[in-house]
Copies of this chain bind each other. A is one copy, B any other.
C-alpha cells in the first residue's frame, strides 16, 4: 500500500524557510505546568507498577485510603478528596462495589446524599496497598534525599493552597 497516501503525508509546500532564526521562546521543559505533569506522570507510573499485582489503579487506592478513616463520606466530598470528577467517581465506585471493597448507604439526614463506607475486604486490601505506597515513598526518599523530598512536599502544599 501507498503509505504516504494512507497516512495523509504531504510535502511542505506551504512552508517558507525563515530567513533568520526565530527568537526561541521558553522551552516547554521550563514551564511549571510541564514539570508538574512530567513528575506526576513518572511517580504515578511507578506507583501503578507496584499496585499492578493487586490489580488496583491509583485512584482506587485514594478512595480506599480516604474511606479507611471509618467515617462515612459523601460522593461529593470523596470526589474532591480523590481528585476525580463526579461521574467518573460514580462509575469507579460502581466497580468497587462490585468488587465488594466499598458500599453505599443512603444518608438518613439528607436523602439526596449517599454515604460511602469501606468494607472489611477493602480494609485488608488497603493495608497491602499502603505498604506498597510507603515502600515507594521510602525508595524516593532514598535516592532523592530526605531533605529534598520534604522541601518538595512543603512547596507543593503551599502552591496548592495559594492556587485556591
Contact = CB atoms under 8 A, between A and B. Distances in A.
A19 interface: no
- Between A32, A144, A148, the greatest number of chain B beta carbons within 10 A of the residue's beta carbon is seen for A32
Given A4-B106, A12-B103, A62 B44 contact: no
Given A7-B114, A32-B156, A33-B47, 7 more contacts: A11-B105, A18-B70, A25-B68, A26-B130, A28-B82, A30-B153, A36-B40
Contact of A160 (B28, B38, B94): B38
A49 interface: no
Copies of this chain in its oligomeric complex: 2
Contacts of A120: 14-16
B106 A156 contact: no
A134 B26 contact: yes
Contacts of A16: 120
Contacts of A38: 83, 156, 160
